Every structure is written in structure tokens, then in C-alpha cells.
Amino acid sequence: MRGADMDGSGDRRKMATAYRRSFATLCAGTIETMLDMAFRRVGEGPARHLDVGCGTGELAVASARRGSDVVAVDPDRYMVAATQESAREAGQKVKVRQAAAPVLPFADRGFDVVTANFVVNHAADPRTTVQDLARVTADGGCVAMTIWPAEAGPHLAAYGEAASAAGAVAVPSTKLASALDFPRSVEGLAMLAEQAGLHVTHGDEVHWAWNTTADDLMGGIAAGIATPGRIHRAQTQPVRDDIERRVRRRWATHAVGDRLVFPVSAPIVCASRE
């Protein structure tokens, strides 16, 4: 019965909408730095750009504004639809497809710039994922990647503290096996690039202030996004309500007026195919 949403499509659609209002605005904090690094390497002017794991399309649209010929891919069809909507709203041309590394449906060396904004940290096999990013990068081209560091940001740490205080039940770990995992640091991300045959031209941490609201952040978690979302969805409603009361009090220490402003940082690496 489609009306019963037996394939979960309704939940995934709601998740994409909630992501756009919450964690997409967090991930957008690295966009200009990534594009500046990449285009500094390949030169200004039209470039063939592949954005892998495009989410709701903010990075792809920003690149299109710079004059790039952009192809954006995401494994989730609702994220694909969200990117298409973002491009239409911005009046920018972006080709969008449902696809993912490490099986990108593109020829070798087809793109001048390849970006993966907070993608590698979610990959089931980070090494083969980065190898696929390298495969589709043209000679002289650039791969720009970000990951979340091992230490949780203050917005997530506060949720973890609140969940623990509320007696939340644990959820299965998503940590990779040691043979697949890598250090969640600039050095660890650079190592993946070098193992894929790329030359690291820049590795650093990017810092920004994430401006959001408690309602938008809680909405993303309630929709099941990220580890806090998985934890939240696993609880009974009374425990969820208790967690929310506790975490909102903790988030309030970051309030500026009616907004929340969190300090955030992430490893960023730009690597070229020589």
C-alpha cells in the first residue's frame, strides 16, 4: 500500500526538507573556502565541476555562479530533487543525477574540479571512495574534500550530554572497522588523497561560526539526521521530550539574541592530479 508509505519514502522526503533547514546550513560554512582552493589550482574561468554528495545543492549552485559547468550527484533521490529546486530558485544551470562514489557513472579524467563536502566521513569504504574521486579528475585538476573531525562540535556534544542525562538507550555503532577507518584529521584525509595517487597541495582546518535556531537544529535531529538523529528516533516519546528540554538549555549558552551561534571547524584538503 503506497498510502502506508511502506518504502519509507515519506520519512526520507521529510528528512531532506529538515536537512535543508538544519545541517545543510552547517555544511555550507566550508563552501567558499573549498571553491577558492579548487579554482586557485585550476585557474579562473569555465571549469568542468563534479560535486559528489551534493545534498541540497548549495555548493553546486555556488560553483555555477562562478561560471562552472556543474554536475551534481547524490545517492538519495530526495536530495537530488532538493538540488534541482535550489538551482531553479537561484536561476543557475546544474545537471543533477542520482549516483555516488565509489561507482561514479563518469569516464576517467572527465572533470577539472571534484568536490566532496563532508562525504568521505560517511563512506562505507573511504579509500575506494577517494580513489573514485581521483579517477574522474582530469590531469592538472583538483579534488577538494572536507570531513568532520573526531571530536564532536558543541552542538552535537550538547546533545550527547542531554541524551546521557535523560537515560537514552544506546544505538548500534556506525564506526568503521579498523581496516577501513582512517584518522579523522587533516593528516588522515591527506593520507587518503596520497594513497589515491593525488598530490596534496593544501591541507588545513577551516573555522566558521554556524548561525542557526534551536527549532531548526532540533528539527533536523527529530527527522533522524546524523548520529543524534539515530539516537533520538530510537527513544520513547517521553525520553525524546526530556532530551529536547535538556539540550535546548545547553544550546542556550550559545544564544545570540534569538539565534544560536556555534564555533565549528573541519579538516579540508585540496589535492591535484599531476
Q: Contact, 136 vs 108, CB < 8 A?
A: yes
Considering just the CA atoms, what is the radius of gyration of the chain in Å? Answer: 19
Average pLDDT over residues 175-204: 97
Fold of 2-152+172-209+264-272: Rossmann fold (3.40.50)
What does the alpha-carbon distance between residue 54 and residue 71 come to, in Å, rounded to a whole number?
9
Q: Is the whole-model pTM more than 0.95?
A: no
First to last CA, the chain: 53
Going by C-beta distance under 8 Å and a sequence separation of 6 or more, which residues neighbour residue 136? 50, 104, 106, 107, 108, 109, 110, 111, 114
Using pLDDT thresholds of 50, 70 and 90, give the confidence band for residue 8: low
Decide: helix, strand or coil at residue 7.
coil
- Domains of the chain, by residue range, sit at 2-152+172-209+264-272
155-183 pLDDT, tens digit each: 999 999 999 999 999 999 999 999 999 99
Q: Does the pLDDT value for residue 40 go beyond 90?
A: no
Q: Tell me the three cell numbers of residue 2.
A: 503506497
Going by C-beta distance under 8 Å and a sequence separation of 6 or more, which residues neighbour residue 227? 156, 171, 174
Average pLDDT over residues 62-78: 96
The per-residue pLDDT for 7 is 43
Q: Look up cell 585538476; give the residue.
A: 141
